[in-house]
Structure formats: structure tokens, C-alpha cells
Structure 1
Amino acid sequence: MTTHPYTKELHIGSLAVQRAAVLTKKLLSQVDKGHFDKSDDTPVTIADFAAQASIIAAIHNAFPNDSIIGEEDSTALRENAPLFERTWELATSTHLEDEESESHLHTPTTRDEMLSLIDMGAKPQLTPGTGRVWTLDPVDGTATFMTGQQYAVCLSLIQDGVQVLGILGCPNLPDTKNVHEDNVDKTGHGNLLTAVAGHGARIQPLGTGALLSSRNIPRVEQVTSGSDLRFVDTGSTPASSGRLDIHAAVASHLGAPWPHTVDLWSAQMRYVAIAMGACNAFVKVPKSEKYRSKIWDHSGGMLLAQELGCLVTDLQGQAVDCGRGRTLEGCYGMVVGPASVHGKIVEAVKSVRGA
């Protein structure tokens, strides 16, 4: 197996994501899947908080000098005692079945520690663009998580503003090119995809104990014609922050199939779909000129795509800067596609937008 300088980080991070994946599925098993009361998002909130606490506990214990950026803070927990207690129970009762693997992780031992760990992700102390920063999204794809469809538990490591490690746990993802919201793994626990800068990407089944064997993910085909592009997008939820009309016009300009061939709500799952071979490109033209993506919605997934032969840029074709803190501040929109045809996608976006 190829060695790299992030072997320990990959091992601990993968175990932490696997435990958090078990945690999220544990919550789903306790409720009527897909039938949450729309006026009560408690099950989702519990999964977010408990998974963030679980992951940060493991990462901070192993790498105490690293900073962490997480999506959640503990405000809602401090204001809602029942929510707090349910989160505490879920975060502290979920363990990997393999004792040796679990021994590499840490679990909060007090309620105050759990709150502090969650808030550690909300208040990183590092100067943007310097040092080591972990980013995490405990449940990317909340809407589809609620309905038992595709979602991802996401963790990445950024060093001096550059992605070096990506770990995406996909508890409902079967090992197939047919990536679809409703094509859910019914016989296993989903799959874990990882990427290390300069060392490619790998996939392995998620489990409930020790990490299972992994294999290399093939690189994407370097197509040269726009008609060979297969876009992933989201059109099933009106709340999309992207301009689907412009996305459609870009595909038409390139001669690519539309409607998009893969429909996924989770931003990180779109990178996963590319890695699985279900598609090979996506664009995002935000509805608002002021919109900037959150770092945890893309870091790690971007590295996965890059290690497989895709380029990831903003709408002008400029590289994405991961060293600006909680958002991709310098990046307006996104263009992802095989390096061989990425420039054509950027030019199509510019043409359609008149930019």
C-alpha cells in the first residue's frame, strides 16, 4: 500500500467518520423513517449535534493542536433540555464494536465537555490560511437524511489553505454506478470514500467495527467533447441555491444531456457521484451574487474529484482557496469536470452568463 504523511490522520479520521455514520443510522432506526413532523426537526438536530460531538472528540483527542471548523454550535442544546439529553445519550452510547478501533477514539465524559467540543467547531482559533484545520459536516444533505435517502458524513484536513485529506462516509450508498436518492444500500452500511492529496482516492464498505479493506477508485475518463459530459445537479427541491435555468443553458451550449443525468440534494454527494462513475461534471451558478459556499459543503469532496482527474474552480476558472475560514470567500460559484474539458465548461458558463 502506498505510504503518505497522513497515514495516522486518515486512520483516525476514517474511524471517527465510521462511528458517526453508525450514530446517524442509529437515530434513523429509532424513528419512523421519512415521516418526521415538519414542525419538529429534533431528530435531524440530534444527529447533527451528536455526530459533530463524536467526531470532534476523536479528532481533538488525537490531534490537540489542530483547529476544527464544524457546522454546528451548542446554542440550541443549551436552550432545550430534552434535546440536550437526547443528544448526550446518542453521542455517548455509540461506539464501534471493535474494541481496538474504538480505543483510538474518544467519547465525551461529561455534558460540559460535549458542549465544549461542539463549540470548538464553531470558534476556530487559527488565523485563516495557516496551519492545520479540520472541517466537518456531520450530516450533509439534511433533507434527504430525513427521508432515508442519500447523505454524507464529511471530514477533511486542510493544511496552510490546501486540502490534503478528504473522508466522506455515505451510509446509504451502495457500491454501484447507479447513484440515486432512492437507490439505498439495504444489505450493508454504505461506503466510505477517502482521498489523500497526491495519492489518489479509495473506497471501502462502511462497517460497525474495524475498518474494512479498501480499493482504488479509477480516475475519470478524460473526455474532450461537451456531449460526453453527464451533469449532476438538484432539481427536486425548490430551495436550491443554484440557477437551474443557467445550468440547463450551459448543458445545451455544450451539447450535453439535460435534464441532468443524476439528481442529488447533498452538495458532497455530487462529488461522490462523480467518484462512483454516475456522472462527471457539475456547475453551480448561485441565485445571489453575494452567495458563498460553506467550506464544509465542499472541502474533502473537492479533493476526491481532483484526485480522480477533475478540475474544481470558480465560475471564472480560478482555483478554489480553502484557507479563508468558514466560507469559500473568494469563490463565486463552482465548475467541476474532467481536466480535459473543464475549460470548455468554464467558457460555456461565461457565454451563457454574458460574463
Structure 2
Amino acid sequence: MGAARAVTLVCTLLLMHFLVAEAKIRVTTVKSTVFISAETSKFGLGIEGVAPDQNGVVYAVGFSGDGTSGIGTVANATGAVEQKLLLKDQTASLSFNGLRFLPLSPALSPYFELRGLAAEVKTHQVFYMLKSKRDGRTRGSVFCRNDSMIQPNDIAVAPKLGAIYMSGGAYGNVKTVVGQGDLWMCKAKDSFYQTSRDDLGPIPATRLGVLGLTNGIEVSPDEKFLYITESFHEFGEPKSNVIWRFDIDQNTGDVDVTKKTLLVDFQKLDGSGYVDLDGIRCDKDGNLFVTKNGRQGEVVKISPSGKLLLRIKLTGVFETTNLDFGGPDGKSLFISGKCVANPDLGCVDVWTEPKPALEVKECHELESRWEVSSLFL
């Protein structure tokens, strides 16, 4: 081999190494818009559980600023700000967290205009809410309960299967061990689209398994997969945060926690394993939107294969707690957390797909695991 050819080959190898090992993946970064500000907020610092009903009206926990015993609206069906009380525990003995709404079946729709669930931490239950068409009052009862639940923290729903799944974590421990987080399921007799009036009583709660601290939880749009966040703390601080994916049995709704697939490890993804994850939600395409509960408010969009697709930098919110899509077309992402301007209050940001000209691009260098020599095998 001539000297010139050898130099050319070496240069080619070095260039390929640079292109592969130092490849820059362009990840779009956008900014949210303040929706409910500290000046107008009727929510306290415990704001949580953002969720839409079947009409696109968005609700959250923490209404009236007195802890987490009240649930109120964030936005009406047109997508405009509206803060009205839906339900309040007058005794303040209940503490709500995650929030979801179920479809109204043909048997229920003549009598009720709203059907929802709230994770209730103090009494280890999922709280059932039904708003009457007759008098407009929202009444509560037990949907499912088990005193062995650690919390529950948040709820995911598989409406066709008639199943809900709950996360929970014991966050007061200095060092996390397996068993301080859990995963539960409550399975109804029928699909939630077919619920009868005789099927409104409490149903059994089944523990599917134990993990580290579990928090954000979601079911894929096709109801084939369950996603759940898991974190481990050391010296009271988070040291790892991941999202697991589980197959959902299409006959029983069961999940085998021993057969889990790692969707994303945030320490390996972008070095943010030290930031706890909170609420997660899927869009219609199955992408996950994940809240990062840190000092700098952020939401990230993760593909079904675990790739980072988007960063949303939050304008009026930090220590982000939860999020969901709502509004008239279901495309507006409402995001809750503490107000930047007043940490004693809860605020909401909103984000919708911006025009390309308004996007801000951010380069993130990802270190490749490939060896250059493997390209020539």
C-alpha cells in the first residue's frame, strides 16, 4: 500500500469515527406558555393530577389552595382558563393525587355527566366520582381499595379492558430499596364503555408486584403496554430514574412485573438520572410525555422505542408534577407544578405544536457505543 493511500485510509477512518462517535442529534427544544399564573391561580402548591374529561375540560387536584383535598377545573372545553370547584372533601381527611376520567357508558349517560377516578393516598383507595345530571352534584365512593397499597400515587386506565393501574412509593426513606414502590390493578367486570348501573360498587384491588419508587404510569393507546417510572434514592436524593414497559395480557389485563423491558434510562439518555420523574402521558401516536420534577421545569417527549424527540422548557412552572392533553381538539398539553413567581401556589403551563419558524433548535451530543472497527466486519 502506497503512503498516499495509507494516509487516505487513516483519514477516512478518523472521519468515520468522528461522524459516528461524535454524532450530533438535533433535538427540538420549545418553550411552553403560561396558562394559569401566580397572579390568577386558585390552586395551591400541591397541584397534581392534570386530566381531561370526555369533552376536553381539564381538571387538577389542589383547588382552593388548601392541600390536596379539592379538585377543580383548569380549562373549559374551548381551551380557555376556567377555575371552578368540582369536588372538595370538607373534612380534609382525604388527600388526592393522580386523576383520570372514564367514558360514560350507554347505561350511565342518562344519569351522569361525568365519571372520574382520583388516587387517594391517606385511605389507600381509588376514589370514584360521579356527577349527577339531576342536581349537578358530584358524589364520591370507593372504586377499589386495599390497605396494603403504599399510596396510591397515580392512575393509568385501559378503558377497553376495563382495568386501571396504580403506582405508589414510600418517599420518606433515605435509601430506596425494592419493595418501597408498588404496582396495583383494579379490574372491572366489563369494558368501561359498557359499565352497567349495577357495576358501580367497589371492585377488588390486586397487587401486581413491587419495585423501587414508582410514580408516573400510563397505558399505550392500543392498550398493549403499560409504562411506569421507577427511581432509587440515596442519602435522600435521586440517583437513578428509568421507565419500564410491560406487556398487558389482553384477556385478563394482568402484567407480569418479572418480564419488563427498559424503555429509557435517563442517566444514559441525557445524564439526568438525578432528577425525579413524575407524571407521564401518551399522545395518540404512543409517544410518552414525561415530567421532570426538578428545580428547572421540563417535559421531554420519548418515542415508543425510547428515543428523545423533544424538550419542552417550562415558563411559569417548576417542580413539575403532572400533565395531560385537553382542549377542543385534544392537542394542547397542560402541565402543572409550583409557580415560578410564587412557590406557595400551583400554576399551569400549556404547549401546542408550534410552527417550525418558532422552534428553537438545541444540539445534544450523544456518545456512540459503536467501535469504528465494527463498521468493517
TM-score of the aligned structures, taking structure 2 as reference length = 0.29
Q: Which has the larger radius of gyration?
A: 2
Structure with higher helix content: 1
Structure with higher strand content: 2
TM-score of the aligned structures, taking structure 1 as reference length = 0.30
**Higher relative contact order (Cα pairs below 8 Å, separated by 6+ residues):** 2
